[in-house]
Amino acid sequence: MHSYDYVVVGAGSAGCVVAARLSQDPETRVLLVEAGTPDGPASMAVPPAWPSLIGSSADWGFVTVPQPGTAQVVHPYPRGKVFGGSSSINAMAFLRGHRAGYDAWAAGGATGWGYDDLLPYFKRSERAAGRDPRHRGTDGPMPVAPPRNGHPLAYVYLEAAAEAGHPTSPDLNGEHQEGVAWLETNIVDGRRFSVADGYLRPALTRPNLTVISSALVHRVVVRGGRCTGIEYSVNGDPRSARAEREVILSAGSIGSAQLLMLSGIGPAAHLREHGLGVLADLPGVGANLQDHPLAGITYSATRPVPPTANQHSDLIAMVRTRPGLASPDLQLIFLDIMYHPPTLIGPEHGYTIGFSLMRPHSRGSVRLAGADPAAAPLIDPGFLRDERDVETMVTGLRMAREVGETEALAGWRGKEELPGAAVQDDAELAAYVRSVTGPYFHPVGTCRIGDDPLGVVDTELRVHGIDGLRVVDASVMPSIVAANPNATVIAIAERAAALITA
């Protein structure tokens, strides 16, 4: 058995950050294990090709359980299985979301995780040239910028959004966190720039950092109430590693919850159902799963929509669905492609205005399908389980339709194909929303910060009741942020590395 100071599980967005930061100290021995391979398909580097990565060799290939809220559909639920994790297969969006979401964490008991607490770590992570240094980082590992050459339809969308009454934000990641803006992404010279590119690959030459790929972690090892290492296998060959200081789970909202339960840490009754001993009865493990439900209106186009060199949504908007809300609760996604379920028939040429609820009330879970570490877990995001989410999504549809029907888009617009202009009353629109809604692939919350009975980690991300074990990834979020979460995951990992080394 090899021994290290720290063992990090998962080379995704969080794990790349943690391993790179901890190994900056040449006296600290760090092991990073990843189930995937160092590189994925060649299309992984091509920004507009991201939809083709769903189901590829770089994806775990998960699916949800049937979702009653979306007509019992079983949805694909991709998660990255490659260096960089989901940052290597996602749509490369880099958004923080409104500060109110983070301040709600702190107000709810996650002391030290408010927006102002995280701001130094957001700034530390990014390299945002030309932005306001009061709010943005200028020399971090992750280059981030709006598109150099926006899609021609995006410029028309910008006019349409203004016509519909939406203000323009010069920087959604800066002082003005509401309105329509050019989407900042991690694209450099026309190629994807993953967290592995920013953090891990520059650190691979360090002699104190060991990285093992194609490594399936079976469980963490706990002796006398302390986590002492992990058991894993590489191509079926069983191995183990000892952690002298800590094991850090960075396997994501699906993987970290699954690993805790496989290790006997989680809801006692559920663990016993699968013949697992109970080391710590933590009912919050695997609970509180949240994702942003995503739907859209699809229009036929009067002419073929040109291909893009970007990631299909150069323009984005953060808006409020009703007056009196403290912060935006809806994202409008202005797409230069048609994006709808394959069960619905769209036009030959067209485009979609997407809408996604940023603060869903619905909650789901991750549960074990069995005690075999290779078995895919049961993923239930609970999409549209809460009727309030359906109502807000219908409002989002109406707001997307307002933009879609503007005079600015008249030169591109053929007609509304999905759901169709004849679909007008709330009941019909709700039925359409249920038929078209799918995942935004933003799972969070399954190992959340909290000292209540459903909390899994404390404010320093240490697992309750087990010494020497932390969780550092999207699963620790008490509630989902009002944005694509990758930028937040990186900031969480930056702060966690600072806590660990303090």
Binding-site residues from annotation for FAD:
82, 217
Amino acid at 300: S
Q: For residue 334, what are its two tokens?
A: 């202005």
497: Cβ–Cβ under 8 A, 6 or more apart, which residues? 17, 18, 21, 22
Count CA within 13 A, CB hemisphere, residue 368.
28
Helical H segments across 212-338, by residue range: 252-262, 268-273
SS3 for 241?
A: strand
Catalytic annotation, residues: 442
Give the integer Cα–Cα distance in Å for 351 and 186.
23
Give the integer Cα–Cα distance in Å for 55 and 77.
9
Longest dimension (CA), the chain: 70
Count of all residues that appear for the chain in the document = 502
452: Cβ–Cβ under 8 A, 6 or more apart, which residues? 109
**In contact, 396 and 356? CB cutoff 8 Å:** yes
Q: Which residues are annotated as a binding site?
A: 82, 217, 440
SS3 for 367?
A: strand
Give the integer Cα–Cα distance in Å for 262 and 260.
6
C-beta contacts of 50-55 below 8 A and 24+ residues apart: 50/89, 50/90, 50/91, 50/92, 50/192, 50/311, 50/312, 53/78, 53/89, 54/78, 54/89
